[in-house]
């Protein structure tokens, strides 16, 4: 989220500079505001003091407006998030293979969806074995995204046939465009189970007739089974 914070700060700074510059050329505006505010002030206050107060109020309003506007737009408009995150945009569907940490052997496969919700990236997914048996559904409970690395705590979600909880980390490939692959790991709480993850953007792997149906559970299952069958053990 550091990219979001940097852009927000730059926009706020730019608007603040604009307000200060405009005030410098239109100083009489502050004198007019002083004339409006002065009658409501119970004590005698120097005009310069009121001007400083008004300037501070205007700048505070600018920063608040930018902050609210950025968060609202990020939460409601996908096109805005694409522009905002640029090459760090990780929203979408992903398919990955789960490998044993020590041997590298293929264990299972998973299908993930990553969406921006309430100020963070929300991860939801399902995991299947190599025969297409559903193991469990999971979702992130908390996440943090910095420097193309997504860290999150996850737990079982409604509809899953099994229970799981733990933490995971996904490192997305660096480039000038939206990442199309990631590597990572996860560790389950209680069992001590750890595994390596290697994933790819689902649209890149999907067949033509699957690309518009990536939210369909059965399409996801079939893609995971096919993905696992094509991975070299």
For residues 112 and 123, the answer to whether their CB atoms sit within 8 Å is yes
* Global confidence as pTM: 0.70
CA–CA dist 125, 137 (Å, integer) = 6
**What is the set of domains in the chain, with CATH numbers?**
2-76 (no CATH), 89-230 (2.40.128.120)
Query: pLDDT (tens digit, 0 to 9) for every residue of the chain, 233 residues total?
Result: 555 455 455 544 454 444 455 444 444 555 555 555 555 555 555 555 555 666 666 666 655 655 655 555 555 566 677 787 788 899 999 999 999 999 999 999 999 999 998 889 999 999 999 999 999 899 999 999 998 999 999 998 755 566 789 999 999 988 888 899 999 999 998 888 899 999 999 999 999 999 999 999 999 999 999 999 988 55
CA–CA dist 99, 106 (Å, integer) = 5
Q: Tell me how far CA of residue 219 lies from CA of 55, 59, 94, 188, 214, in angstroms.
A: 58, 52, 13, 27, 6
């Amino acid at each position: 989220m550091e990219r979001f914070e940097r852009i927000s700060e730059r926009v706020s700074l730019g608007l603040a500079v604009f307000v200060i510059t405009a005030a410098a050329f239109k100083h009489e505006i502050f004198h007019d505001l002083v004339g409006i505010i002065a009658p409501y002030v119970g004590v005698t206050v120097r005009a310069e003091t009121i001007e400083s107060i008004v300037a501070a109020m205007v700048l505070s309003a600018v920063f608040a407006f930018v902050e609210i506007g950025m968060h609202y737009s990020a939460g409601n408009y996908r096109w805005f998030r694409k522009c905002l995150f640029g090459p760090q945009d990780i929203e979408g569907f992903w398919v990955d293979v789960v490998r044993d940490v020590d041997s590298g052997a293929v264990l299972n496969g998973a299908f993930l969806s990553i969406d921006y919700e309430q100020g963070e990236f929300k991860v939801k997914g399902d995991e299947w074995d190599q025969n297409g048996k559903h193991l469990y559904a999971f979702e992130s409970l908390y996440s943090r995204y910095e420097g193309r690395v997504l860290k999150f705590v996850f737990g079982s979600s409604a509809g899953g046939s099994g229970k799981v909880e733990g933490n995971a980390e996904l490192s997305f490939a660096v480039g000038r465009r939206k990442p199309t692959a990631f590597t990572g790991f996860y560790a389950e709480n209680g069992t001590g189970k750890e595994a390596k993850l290697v994933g790819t953007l689902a649209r890149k792997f999907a067949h033509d007739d699957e690309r518009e149906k990536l939210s369909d559970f059965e399409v996801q299952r079939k893609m995971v089974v096919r993905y696992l069958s094509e991975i070299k053990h």
